[in-house]
Structure 1
C-alpha cells in the first residue's frame, strides 16, 4: 500500500564550540522578533534554540553524532554514539537550513505543500531547502529568506496530487520460509526475517526489522500503520506472516500505532521473536541506525540508501532530502521524513520496509537503518520514496532499531 503515505534529543553535537560572531547572532534574533511580532510564528524561540545561533570558528571542525550503534551486536540495548568531524561552515549551513525548513512548515504560507533540507557537498559548505508549492504565484515570505541567510530555496510547483497511480500488477510477494534466522545469535524462540510480506485482514505490506522500546526493554514487530486502513483504530488487530508451503504464522497484535509517522508496533505472540535481519539478495544484520546528521553526511558524500521490499525486492537510490515535511496527503502534516530513490523503488506492498546503509565499521553483513519506507510520489515533476526517519522515531518516541 505504498500509495498511502505516512510521519530525547536530536543526536548531533557541537563539541566545545564557542560564539565568535555576536553581531550575526543579534541580527538573526532581530529577524525572529519581527517574525513573531507579525504573527508568523508562535513560540519560535522554542523551535529555534539559542545554541543553534552560536557561530563557530570556520577553521575548527565540528564533531557530530552520525549513528547509534550496538556495542554488542546481540544486545539491541547496548547503543553507543558514533561521531564524525565535519567542516564548521557546512554544519552551520545545514543547521540553518533545518531551522528554516521547520519554520516554513509552521508558518504555512499560502500554497505551501511541503519541504525538505538538502545538504550540499562538504567542500561547498552549503545547504538548500526544497519547497513544494501548489500554485505558480506562491512565494516564500521575505522574512524567512532573511533568516535563511545563504540557504538557497529550490521551489517546485506540485500539481495533480489527487490522481493516485497503481503500481505494477505483475509482481509476486516475497514470502518467508519456515526456517530459523541465520543472523540471530539466540535461538530459544522462533524468529522471523524482515523484508518479506506480512498481511492484515485486508492488506499486504512489508515486515520491517525489530523495533525496540528501551523503556520496556523489549522488541516489537513493525510495519506500516496504513496496512490496517480497514479499521478506525488498529490497536488489537492481528498481523500474520504468509509462508512458503506452510500455513501463515500469527505474529501478534498491534500494541501501538502512529498515524502521522505511519508506523505500527506489533506485540509478538508467545514463542515468536522479531528479527534484526533483513533478507534480500544477501543477508543483512541491523547494527543500529543513522542520526539526522548521519543521513546529512551521506548526502554530502553522495552515498546511496538501499531497501528490500516484499514486492520490488532490493533497490538502491540517492538521498534527496532530510527532515522532509508533507502537507498535501492528509488532514495533517507529516514531519521528520527522509526522501530518497525514485517512484519505481516502491509499490503497493513495499510499505513497512526500511531504507538502510552498510555499516562502514561493522561486519560485512551489518547495516544501519535510515528510516521506514511508507509512500512514493505519483505526481509529475518529482520522483522519490518517502517515510519517517529512524531518528524521528527515536527523538519523538524513544524507539530504535
Structure 2
C-alpha cells in the first residue's frame, strides 16, 4: 500500500563543503537541489549567498517584491534569508518522504501534508487522513487502511487518522452565495481592490484576490478563484466579472482549474489597486516563497484575509505542503501545494478568491501574499481549515 524509501537524505548544509565560488548559477542550482533544497529557492541562490551564510545556516528565498514596493515600473527583486540548516534539513527530509510515499495515490486518503518543524522544538512530521466514507464506498475498513500506513519513514514520524466527515456535502454547500443571473451591464470607471466582492453573472459571487503582473510587464491584472465559474475555461468561454453595481470589471485571460485561479485583464476604464478594501488598510506588495511560508507555519504565525462574506479574519498557518483530495462540486480534486490555515470561522461561501497575507515590514503598506483562498476543508477533529494554492503556484504572475 504505502511505499517506502530508505535512501532519502537531505544535507543542504553540505553546500559549504563545495567550491561554490567556481560554480555557474546552473551548477550551483543543481548542487543545491541535489542536496535537498526547494527549486523555488535554489534557482535564485548565488555563490555569494552561500558564502554569506555560516556553516550552520543555509540561504533560502524569502519572497519577491518590487525594488520600490507597489511600483511595478521598478525592478522585480528577490529577498533572501539565512535559516538554521538543521531546521531546513528536517523540513526538506519530511517533504521528500511525503513525496516518496505517494500516500495520495491511496484512493481513500483525503489529505496528506508535511507539518513543518518548530524552530528549536518539535521535528517535522507527515499528517495523513483516511476518509471513512470513501473506505466504505470501496468496501474497505478505514482503520485497516490507517494501520497499513507506516508510523515512521526515514526518521520522519507519520500520523495517520480516520476522518469521519470528509466526502459528505451539506445542502448549504450546494447553494450559490449570490444571485445576479440577469445583469444589466454598465460601463463606467471603477476600481478593483483585493478583498472586494465580485460577481460572475452565473449566480455566484466571490472575492477579488489582488493585483498581479505577468512576467516583467507593468500592466496590472487581478486574480480570483477559477471555481467561481464552475469549470468554465477562459480560452473557450466568454468569462466576465462584475462589481456590486453591475460594472463590467474585466475579461479572463488565463487560469487553471486545479490550481484554482483565474486572471482578468481590466476594462479600459477600470483601475486595479493593491490596497485591501473593507475596514482595514493593507497594501499587498509581494509574495512569500513556499519555504518561507513553512517557516511562518513552524513559528505558529497567523495570516490575515479580507473576504466578501466573513470580512476581516486572522488564523494560524498550518502548512504550505498540503494535498487535499476532495473539493466537492467545485471540481478539480486532488490539489497539491495547498496552504492550510485558520478554522471554520475564517472563511465561508463568497470568500473564495480572497488572498491570505502576512505583514512584511513594520507598516501596513508592506504585506506579502501567502495563498489564494479557495475553500474550507474538514480535518479529523471535525473542524474546518481554510485551504488554497500558495502564491508561488501561479506561473509568471507576481503580486504587487
Q: Which residue of 2 aligns with 1:179?
A: none
Contact 1:324 1:335 (C-alpha < 8 Å) held by counterparts: yes
Match of 2:69 in 1: 73
Structure 2, unmatched stretches of 5+, are: 1-10, 19-29, 39-49, 132-141, 180-188
What secondary structure sits across from 1:136 in the alignment?
helix
Q: Partner of 1:195 in structure 2?
A: 195
Structure 1 residue 95, shift from structure 2 partner = 0.6
Q: 2:158 aligns to what? A: 153
Q: CA RMSD in A?
A: 3.4
Query: Normalising by structure 2, what TM-score?
Result: 0.75
The partner residue of 1:253 within 233, 251, 256 is 251
The answer for the alignment partner of 1:275 in structure 2 is 273
Deviation at 1:374, TM superposition (A): 0.3
For the residues of structure 2 that align with 1:380 and 1:65, how far apart are their CA atoms? 33
CA distance in 2, matches of 1:160, 1:60: 44
Partner SS, residue 145 of structure 2: coil
Query: Any residues of structure 2 matched to 1:327-366 within 5 Å, and which?
Result: 327-329=325-327, 332-359=333-360, 361=361, 363-366=363-366
Question: Does the aligned pair in 2 maintain the 1:197–1:206 contact within 8 Å?
Answer: yes
The structure-2 alpha-carbon separation of the partners of 1:50 and 1:107, relative to structure 1 and needing over 3 Å to count, comes to farther
Residue deviations 1:260-301, cap 9 Å, x none? Answer: 011111121112222211113321111111111111111222
Q: Specify the alignment match of 1:186 in structure 2.
A: none
Structure 1 regions of 5+ residues with no counterpart?
1-12, 21-45, 174-188
SS in 2 for 1:319: strand
Query: 1:201, CA displacement in angstroms?
Result: 1.1
Aligned residues: 336
Query: C-alpha distance in 2, partners of 1:80/1:16?
Result: 27
Distance 2:37 2:263 in 1: 37
Question: Does the aligned pair in 2 maintain the 1:240–1:250 contact within 8 Å?
Answer: yes
Residue 106 of structure 1 and its aligned partner are, at CA, apart by 7.1
* Matched position secondary structure for 1:377: strand
TM-score (norm 1): 0.74
Question: Residue 120 of structure 1 corresponds to which residue in structure 2?
Answer: 117
CA distance in structure 2 between the partners assigned to 1:232 and 1:72 by the alignment: 35
For residue 160 of structure 1, report the CA deviation from its aligned partner.
3.6
Change (3 A) 1:53 1:384: closer
| 1:50 to 2:48 alignment | no
Cα distance in structure 2, aligned partners of 1:14 and 1:345: 36
Taking structure 1 as reference, are residues 328 and 72 closer, same or farther at Cα in structure 2, changes over 3 Å only?
same
Alignment of 1:179-190 (within 5 A): none
1:208 & 1:100 partners in 2: Cα distance?
Answer: 33
- How far does the alpha carbon of each residue in 1:63-93 deviate from its partner, in whole angstroms, 9 at most, with x for none? 2111212211242363222222221111001
Query: What does 1:53-132 correspond to in 2, within 5 Å?
Result: 60-76=56-72, 78-105=75-102, 108-109=105-106, 111-124=108-121, 126-132=123-129
Which structure exhibits the higher relative contact order, with contacts defined as CA atoms closer than 8 Å and separated by 6 or more residues?
1
- In structure 1, the residue matched to 2:3 is none
- 1:137 matched to 2:144? The reply is yes
Cα displacement (A) at 1:125: 6.4
Instruction: State the 1:107 CA deviation.
Output: 6.7
**Cα-to-partner distance string for 1:341-396 (whole Å, 9 max, x where unaligned):** 0022111100000100011x353332110011101025662420000000122xxx
Aligned 8 A contact 1:109 1:141 in 2: no
Greater Cα offset, 248-257 or 329-338? 329-338
- The aligned residue for residue 291 of structure 1 is 289
Change (3 A) 1:266 1:144: farther
The aligned counterpart of 1:308 is: 306
